[in-house]
């Protein structure tokens, strides 16, 4: 009897002890070492170095796919720059996708620079000019990191970017340099040429990691995060292979490992085995889709809802009709078929729908649209959106 009880508790204790530093797998954690990025780190550092003798560094554009280390590299280098300057260089950091609106992006920058602005009520132009005046009146030296900058540009326009990239010419004393980061490789194409020539004074591309590189990144990280022996090498290998299968995405790799660890912990296992990893992979994929869905603009969600009415796929005409009905019901503007086609192409890129071109013989070609999300996920997202609730 005693042995049996002890065995259960022993298992629970071991299960608990799987992690030794859980934070090391959180999205905010920046590892001390960033292997395979020495070239990018030194290039970013070279570009920023003039800041240490009060010269304005060139603006810098970093781009590459998700999980290629852009955020980690940029944050690590600006952190060191701020330290080396003994705090005389300020390095505000804003992820424009996470903060959401143009206004919030600007007020977040102001807050990090210690410039007071009201929470609402100012025009965008006024906010920008208060930030510039604030920097100028303090003669501040600022290297601003705008992460996932494409959200700022797509959702509105590139006016603020224009203002910011040109700021260097208007501010004296002090300076404002910009590091823009984009996960979108075609980001540059949509930019105003003036913004591009200024923002892209220096450019750096982050290539995807190879599976072998992911493997090495993962084993380093797992050694910090987990107790020794908690993660067998086979698990690391599979994790790297799963994350590397689409493109070498270190974020996906680290997420998978964290979720697999949580699965193992919940099940009271002594090790994170391959079965945990497979379960984690399903969950991460579901979460990814839900996250992608929930951050879409209302019109895109309505198009998804319309597409979900055709379980076995629809052609563009049918889909447009269904969309029109739903859009009317929810009281939003009904977009033209052309706009809807444009949005469908974006949804295809996000992997939420699949559009295939089919030939109709002499009557030309059409697209067959198939939804790639299960009904339950769609319903869950729709329930979380007040305007869509009415439609349902």
- Residues near ligand ADP (CB under 6 A) are 30-31, 34-37, 64, 66-72, 183, 206, 217, 250-251, 254
Tell me whether residue 80 or residue 251 sits nearer to ligand ADP (CB atom). 251
In 3D, which of 72, 79, 81 has the Cα closest to residue 48? 81
Nearest 5°: phi and psi at 177? -110, 155
User: Shortest Cβ distance from residue 383 to ligand ADP (Å)?
Assistant: 29
User: Shortest Cβ distance from residue 204 to Mg ion (Å)?
Assistant: 14
For residue 365, what are the β-bridge partners? 359
Q: Which residue is nearest to Mg ion (CB)?
A: 71
Tell me whether residue 169 or residue 233 sits nearer to ligand ADP (CB atom). 233
User: Shortest Cβ distance from residue 323 to ligand ADP (Å)?
Assistant: 32
- Strand positions, DSSP E, the chain: 60-64, 89-90, 93-95, 141-147, 175-182, 202-206, 314-315, 353-359, 365-371
User: Shortest Cβ distance from residue 84 to ligand ADP (Å)?
Assistant: 21
For residue 357, what are the β-bridge partners? 367
User: Shortest Cβ distance from residue 33 to ligand ADP (Å)?
Assistant: 6
Yes or no: say if 388 and 305 are a contact pair by the CB < 8 Å rule.
yes
For residue 144, what are the β-bridge partners? 178
Tell me whether residue 183 or residue 300 sits nearer to ligand ADP (CB atom). 183
For residue 315, what are the β-bridge partners? 368
Q: Go through 207-232 and write b for each residue having 16 or more CB atoms within 10 A of its CB, e for each that does not.
A: ebbebebbbbbbbbbbeebbbeebbe
The item of Mg ion, ligand ADP, none sharing an interface with residue 72, based on CB under 5 to 8 Å by kind, is: ligand ADP
Query: What does the angle CA 200 – CA 191 – CA 334 come to, to the nearest 5 degrees?
Result: 155
Q: Which residue is nearest to ligand ADP (CB)?
A: 69
Interface with Mg ion by CB under 5 A: which residues? 71
Tell me whether residue 36 or residue 323 sits nearer to ligand ADP (CB atom). 36
Tell me whether residue 227 or residue 251 sits nearer to ligand ADP (CB atom). 251
Tell me whether residue 149 or residue 322 sits nearer to ligand ADP (CB atom). 149
The item of ligand ADP, Mg ion, none sharing an interface with residue 217, based on CB under 5 to 8 Å by kind, is: ligand ADP
The item of Mg ion, ligand ADP, none sharing an interface with residue 31, based on CB under 5 to 8 Å by kind, is: ligand ADP
Yes or no: say if 257 and 19 are a contact pair by the CB < 8 Å rule.
no
Tell me whether residue 71 or residue 198 sits nearer to Mg ion (CB atom). 71
Yes or no: say if 51 and 143 are a contact pair by the CB < 8 Å rule.
yes
User: Shortest Cβ distance from residue 252 to Mg ion (Å)?
Assistant: 12
**Would you give the distance in Å from CA 234 to the centre of its chain?**
29
Tell me whether residue 68 or residue 198 sits nearer to ligand ADP (CB atom). 68
Nearest 5°: phi and psi at 309? -75, -15
User: Shortest Cβ distance from residue 213 to ligand ADP (Å)?
Assistant: 8
The item of ligand ADP, Mg ion, none sharing an interface with residue 251, based on CB under 5 to 8 Å by kind, is: ligand ADP
Separation of alpha carbons 370 and 16, rounded Å: 43
Dihedral (Cα; 259, 265, 266, 272), 10-degree rounding: 60
**Would you give the distance in Å from CA 138 to the centre of its chain?**
33
In 3D, which of 251, 250, 208, 203 has the Cα closest to residue 62? 203
The item of Mg ion, ligand ADP, none sharing an interface with residue 36, based on CB under 5 to 8 Å by kind, is: ligand ADP
The item of ligand ADP, Mg ion, none sharing an interface with residue 254, based on CB under 5 to 8 Å by kind, is: ligand ADP
Separation of alpha carbons 305 and 158, rounded Å: 30
User: Shortest Cβ distance from residue 37 to ligand ADP (Å)?
Assistant: 4
The item of Mg ion, ligand ADP, none sharing an interface with residue 252, based on CB under 5 to 8 Å by kind, is: none
The item of ligand ADP, Mg ion, none sharing an interface with residue 34, based on CB under 5 to 8 Å by kind, is: ligand ADP
């Amino acid at each position: 009897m005693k042995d049996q009880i002890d065995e259960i508790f022993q298992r629970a204790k071991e299960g608990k002890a799987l992690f030794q530093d859980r934070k090391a797998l959180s999205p905010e954690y920046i590892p001390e070492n960033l292997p395979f990025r020495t070239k990018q780190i030194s290039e970013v550092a070279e570009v920023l170095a003039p800041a240490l003798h009060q010269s304005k560094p060139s603006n810098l554009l970093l781009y590459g796919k998700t999980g290629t280390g852009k955020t980690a590299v940029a944050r690590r280098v600006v952190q060191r720059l701020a330290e080396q300057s003994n705090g005389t260089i300020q390095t505000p950091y804003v992820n424009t996708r996470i903060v959401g609106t143009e206004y919030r992006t600007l007020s977040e920058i102001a807050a990090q620079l210690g410039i007071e602005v009201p929470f609402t009520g100012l025009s965008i132009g006024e906010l920008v000019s208060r930030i510039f005046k604030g920097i100028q009146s303090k003669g501040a030296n600022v290297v601003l990191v705008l992460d996932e900058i494409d959200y700022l540009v797509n959702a509105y326009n590139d006016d603020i970017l224009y203002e910011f990239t040109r700021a260097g010419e208007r501010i004296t004393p002090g300076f404002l340099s910009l590091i823009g980061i984009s996960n979108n490789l075609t980001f540059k194409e949509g930019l105003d040429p003036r913004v591009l020539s200024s923002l892209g004074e220096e450019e750096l591309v982050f290539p995807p990691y190879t599976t072998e590189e992911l493997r090495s990144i993962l084993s380093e990280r797992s050694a910090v995060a987990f107790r020794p022996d908690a993660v067998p090498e086979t698990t690391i290998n599979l994790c790297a292979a799963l994350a590397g299968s689409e493109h070498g995405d270190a974020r996906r790799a680290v997420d998978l490992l964290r979720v697999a660890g949580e699965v193992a912990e919940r099940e009271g296992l002594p090790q994170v085995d391959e079965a945990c990893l497979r379960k984690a992979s399903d969950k991460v994929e579901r979460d990814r889709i839900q996250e992608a869905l929930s951050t879409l603009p209302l019109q895109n969600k309505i198009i998804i809802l319309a597409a979900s009415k055709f379980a076995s796929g629809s052609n563009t005409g049918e889909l447009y009709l269904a969309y029109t009905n739903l859009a009317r019901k929810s009281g939003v503007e009904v977009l033209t078929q052309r706009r809807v086609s444009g949005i469908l192409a974006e949804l295809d890129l996000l992997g939420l729908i699949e559009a295939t071109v089919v030939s109709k013989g002499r009557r030309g070609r059409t697209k067959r649209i198939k939804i790639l999300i299960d009904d339950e996920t769609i319903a869950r997202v729709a329930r979380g959106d007040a305007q869509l609730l009415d439609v349902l």
